Amino acid sequence: MGLLVDGNWVDKWYNTKENGGKFERQASEFRHSIGEGNSRYLPESNRYHLYVSLACPWAHRALIFRKLKGLENHIDVSVVHPHMLEAGWKFEPYPGSTGDKLYGYDYLHQVYTLEKDDITTRVTVPVLWDKHTKTIVNNESADIIRIFNHRFNALTRNEDDYYPEQLCAQIDEINHEIYHNVNNGVYKAGFATTQEAYEDAVTSLFTTLDNVEKMLSKSRYLVGDILTEADWRLFTTLIRFDAVYYSHFKCNVKRIVDYPNLYAYMCELYQVPGVKDTVNFTHIKQHYYVSQTTINPTQVVPIGPTLNFTSNHGREKYTNR
Ligand SMILES: N[C@@H](CCC(=O)N[C@@H](CS)C(=O)NCC(=O)O)C(=O)O
């Protein structure tokens, strides 16, 4: 695990010593959009490419939106190897990995230096890449899912809207809480290097999960009867929770399966057509347990738990009232 400094790969882990044992995620650097006033990046078929890891919850958001919005024939995907070690994300044969379909590179950092040869940056997934200009359009999943949500509608004729105008404020508000306490909260717990930083993160995480459990006892989705991006952003953390975050990141106050409403809600989302094809538990478990050697130095991957997301979720009752 490392980063690019002036175009050179440096093998270095996040430094938590400077800030009281707390993990602080760095902001994504490439934040361009496609279409709507952006004359550089136009919404064209087969022009953009998505680099992902099937393990990564942020990249998973982008894969789900690509599926839901019918973009599979317009935006192809390269999938990295699940292990992210000294050289960062790599392209090596592994079931479910594809190699770098565009340039045949060995490492994802080579895609970043193709964009700019003396770049200084972390090398993260997802990356939305433009094949025409050989540049990174965007490497922030929160932006990529919004681009996918509406910028290619003219091509796909898929008008499904996961960020409807009248709900934007509500969605932004819930995203904010879920991002800090849940999506990033599990990382803050797992990467904490002091007891205090760990306990702060786990307390906020379970306070939010308890609140969401209550909300979901009254409402089918996070902002009412409509499935929105807020739900998909929560889903990619929930689906990894019992298999990884509970044990590896020590988020072990409760499992998702112990929350009746959260669990049924997660099953409902998993069962939305196409979504289960985006979930790969081998990549997920291999990535976390093998790559994060500061937490799991033996790199032994647990066999369990046994998971079932296909049971009858019964969530229709909330909209049929
Ligand atoms: N804010 C980014 C975060 C992406 C991210 O941190 N991805 C992780 C994988 S789960 C990564 O590639 N980490 C490599 C690193 O931090 O060097 C997003 O949501 O797109």
Say which CATH number the domain at 248 has.
1.20.1050.10
Mutate to test the pocket of ligand 1, among 50, 51, 58 (most ligand atoms within 8 A of CB): 58
Question: What is the structure's pLDDT at 320?
Answer: 55
Residues 125 and 177 both lie in one domain: no
Q: Token digits for 114?
A: 């193709």
Residues 15 and 135 both lie in one domain: yes
Report d(CA 215, CA 230) in Å as an integer: 13
Active site residue 267: no
Contact 22/188 with Cβ under 8 angstroms? yes
Domain boundary among 97, 127, 156: 156
- Complex confidence, ipTM: 0.99
pLDDT value at 14 more than 90: no
Give the pLDDT confidence of 283-299 residue by residue, as tens digits: 999 999 999 999 999 99
Give the pLDDT confidence of 114-144 residue by residue, as tens digits: 999 999 999 999 999 999 999 999 999 999 9
Instruction: Find the CATH number of the domain harbouring 101.
Output: 3.40.30.10
Residues 179 and 129 both lie in one domain: no
Q: Which residues contact 300 (CB under 8 A, 6 or more apart)?
A: 289
Q: Is 122 in the pocket of ligand 1 (CB under 6 A)?
A: yes
Q: Is 127 in the pocket of ligand 1 (CB under 6 A)?
A: no
Question: What is the structure's pLDDT at 128?
Answer: 98
- Quote the pTM value: 0.97
Residues 64 and 17 both lie in one domain: yes
Buried b vs exposed e over 244-266: b needs ≥16 C-beta within 10 Å? Answer: bbbbbbbbeebbbbebebbbebb
Give the pLDDT confidence of 47-84 residue by residue, as tens digits: 999 999 999 999 999 999 999 999 999 999 999 999 99
- The packing angle between helices 141-150 and 57-68, to 10°, is 0
Residue 122 labeled ligand binder: yes
Q: State which residues form the domain around 226.
A: 165-318
Residues 35 and 171 both lie in one domain: no
Give the H or E element holding residue 76.
Answer: strand 76-79
Contact 21/193 with Cβ under 8 angstroms? yes
Residues 257 and 211 both lie in one domain: yes
How many domains, the chain? 2
Distance 125 CA to ligand 1 centre (A): 5
Residues 136 and 199 both lie in one domain: no
Nearest CA owner, ligand 1 atom 15: 124
CA triple 125-4-99, angle to 5 deg: 45
Residue 141 labeled ligand binder: yes
Domain boundary among 135, 156, 177: 156
